[in-house]
Amino acid sequence: MRHLLVAFAPLALVAACATPPQQQAGWTPPALDGMGGSAYGAFLAGQGALNDGKGAEAAAYFAKAELEGGSSDMLQDRAFTAAVLAGDIPRAAQLAPQGEEASESTKRMGQLVKAVEFMANGDGKAAQEALAGENIGFPHRGAASLLAPWAAAMAGDVEGSLIRPEVRNDRVVDYFGQLGQAYLFERARRYDEAETDYKALTGGDTPGDIAVLAYGAFLERRKRGPDAVALYDRALRAQPNDEALASARARAATGKGAPPPPTLRQGAAQVL
């Protein structure tokens, strides 16, 4: 699940963090602030690598700059972004920026990164706290909302896990929030409510294959193979070359090998 964070990190954040900071009152460029030539060179090299999307290389340069010239909020901000781009989420969680010079967008992303790391380690309560309230705002509110029910489930908060995420005018959250709720209703053995969600997601002439596969697997687990086959057939009429649907249909027709429901970590990853 950690590596998915790189995929859903908004491009606007990456672009903002990869852009050199504007000169502001009270801020002194590192070369003039006691970093020294070697540290400043490492900083510039790290910034160049970050601009090119080379997260691992940038992280190494920023680590060198910090080692030789000392830490700063701005440098930690850049090191954090590099760690996210490199897919090193445990390191990014350690570097999550909080200082005054760090941008608000990276502070919010840092809070989200810490929540993901807590969930990757199975610490649902800590993840719940990290995701609670207004801790994570725009542009990461949607991702935080989608993760919140899964964090609640990890923490043993069944009722909290069944609250559908809502972010105004966000269709992605609407869709994947309802899909996640369906999974979690099934986990809570509230099968009728799970099916209500699945039916809503798979209605219409061209339902998305993600929801169809999820609903079909649910039907298979409920020993309703013929219903699952009918669902897959309807989807295949709209998408006749979809290999995943064809494979699921063949499996359901045998009445054997229904896929297990997703684990909490898998479910959180799927809704992202």
Please state the pTM of the whole predicted model.
Answer: 0.74
What would the mean pLDDT of 213-240 be, rounded to a whole number?
96
> In the chain, what are the domain boundaries?
4-120, 151-271
- The full DSSP string for 183-231 is HHHHHTT-HHHHHHHHHHHT-SSS--HHHHHHHHHHHHHTT-HHHHHHH
Res. 58: pLDDT tops 70: no
What would the mean pLDDT of 184-213 be, rounded to a whole number?
95
What would the mean pLDDT of 83-89 be, rounded to a whole number?
76
What would the mean pLDDT of 31-43 be, rounded to a whole number?
49
CA atoms within 13 A on the CB side of 27: 14
Please tell me the CATH code under which domain 151-271 is placed: 1.25.40
What would the mean pLDDT of 187-215 be, rounded to a whole number?
95
Res. 193: pLDDT tops 50: yes
What would the mean pLDDT of 165-184 be, rounded to a whole number?
94
Closest C-alpha to 246, from 221, 269, 212, 220: 212
What would the mean pLDDT of 107-120 be, rounded to a whole number?
89
Q: How confident is the model at residue 132 (pLDDT cuts 50, 70, 90)?
A: confident
For residue 54, the model assigns a pLDDT of: 63
